[in-house]
Amino acid sequence: MSEIGSIKRESTKNSKRVLFGVPRLGSSLVLGIEGFALFSLYVLGYGIDEFLVGFALAMGYLSIALGQFLLGWLSDAKYTKLGRRKPYILIFGPLLGISFIFLLLPGLFLPNMNDKSALFTWLLIWDIIFRFSYAVTTPYQAWMAELFPANERPQVSQVQNTFNFIGNGIMALVTLLVFTNIFEEINLTPSVIPTSFLLIVVTFGLIAVILFLLIVFLLPTEHRYEIKTDLWENLKTTVKNKNFLLVTLMQGISGFGWSMISTVMLTFTILVLGLGGTDYIIIAVCILLGIFVFLYLWRKRIEKIGKKKTLLYIFLLAIIFLPISLLGLVSAIPSLILGIIFIIGIGAILGGWYLFPYIIYADIAEDDEKSTGDLKAGVYTGFPSIILNIFQAIGVFLLGVITSLPKIVIGTNYFSIGYVLWGPIVSLILIVSYFYTKKYVKLDFDWEKK
């Protein structure tokens, strides 16, 4: 049992770690569909102008940056009968699933589906609500620092990411195999919702609601502890924490690269490698298996050599591997084989990186607790979202610039040369991340060894 000041962290069973991680399945399903299909739904399905849809989605990104900071910050403030984090999960977890249903099924609620102004207003309002509600993941994630000792957090993160990628895998298959034909149906008869689309959206929304409610009612409330400082003092202390700011900047710099990888990897397999049809199933299985295996392997490395050394190895693997995108210029290589190698390598890289955000801010919050006596896990979990969202937005914008470069013909495929150049460009970004992390960032603390 770990006991620091008045906070007790008892060793937990695997069942508790699995229960804590399972809401990530629901959140990844709804956020994945929202990110993957929403633009196409409102542009191709309902005929809304691309600029207006882009504006609405941009407002959604701003709301999630604000929400993740705000809910994390506020959840530190007051201990209730349900603890500090449960009240926010109880409110915003269900709202996440409900707003997802409203957002993707306007035809259930709007009387005139040919009214473009009403559809745009509906999209704007409900995407802001949905994205703000997704900030429930911040008090939920901050809860890790209170429920689990530091030595268990890599295992908890592995479980969370396992559910994340199960959700992402289901989402990708549903989008590719079901949704691609639905947008045309909606465009022809916007007042009629295809049954398969309706069932999938409602099911995914309800899964998100149920899984968040599950942990509210089944996980024990954390031990009561008092925070001696107020919200503003908590925020001031946080931004004065030099290592925290250095780690946040490291995540932001790396976010340039990670956002480009996650955004372009599927398009790369379609345009450059020319994969399609049943190839999607093979690719989805490969990335899921690759991520699950490497989540375990990287977690074992963390336990053996520590967080910082493991992260540096992940950066090195990415730096060496990502120029594989240049092989898209070689038409003699069988596309499916190259696609499998590519996607397993991406799974190894992302499976490692995604372990860290869940762990490091809980550890930094606990390290701060050693010197201040207060655990401010909410603000430590939520504040980085502001910077990270900015860096990720710039990364995606940069990817758009790169993939707008002149087109070339390789074999039977016709694509922008940027679709093969992004790999070495991301490698260069991660070289900066590697040396920055090696010199400035502290991820392992002496108290963890005790």
Per domain, the residue ranges of the chain are 13-225, 229-450
* Fold category of 13-225 in CATH: Growth Hormone; Chain: A; (1.20.1250)
In order, the DSSP letters of 170-222 are: HHHHHHHHTGGGHHHHHHH-TTS--HHHHHHHHHHHHHHHHHHHHHHHHSPPP
The whole-chain average pLDDT of the chain stands at 83
Q: What is the mean pLDDT of residues 169-182?
A: 73
pLDDT digits (tens, 9 = 90+) for 25-84: 999 899 878 876 777 788 778 888 877 877 787 788 778 878 888 888 788 777 788 888
Question: Average pLDDT for residues 114-140, to the nearest whole number?
Answer: 91
pLDDT at 3: 42
Q: Tokens for 225?
A: 């502890």
- Topology alike, domains 13-225 and 229-450: yes
Tokens of residue 416, six digits: 């922008």
> What DSSP string describes 356-382?
HHHHHHHHHHHHHHHHHS---HHHHHH
Give the pairing of strands 7-9 and 407-410: unpaired
- Helix, coil or strand: residue 426: helix
How long, in residues, is the chain? 450
Q: Poorest-confidence range of 83-92, 155-164, 339-348, 395-404?
A: 395-404
CATH of 229-450, one of 1.20.1250.20, 3.40.50.1000, 3.20.20.140, 1.10.287.1120: 1.20.1250.20
Read off the amino acid at residue 447: W
Query: How would you label 173-212 residue by residue, b for 16+ Cβ within 10 Å and e otherwise?
Result: ebbbeebeebbeebeeebeebbeebeebbbebbbbbbebb
| pLDDT tens-digit readout, 305-362 | 999 999 999 999 999 999 999 999 988 888 889 989 998 898 888 878 877 877 888 7
SS3 443: coil
More confident residue, 377 or 45: 45
CA distances for 345 relative to 323, 332, 397, 433, angstroms: 11, 20, 24, 19
Lowest mean pLDDT among 116-120, 138-142, 304-308, 369-373: 369-373
Other beta carbons within 10 Å of 287: 27
- Is residue 385 within 8 Å of 64, Cβ to Cβ? yes
In angstroms, what CA-CA distances link 87 with 28, 63, 76, 138, 194? 21, 20, 12, 13, 36
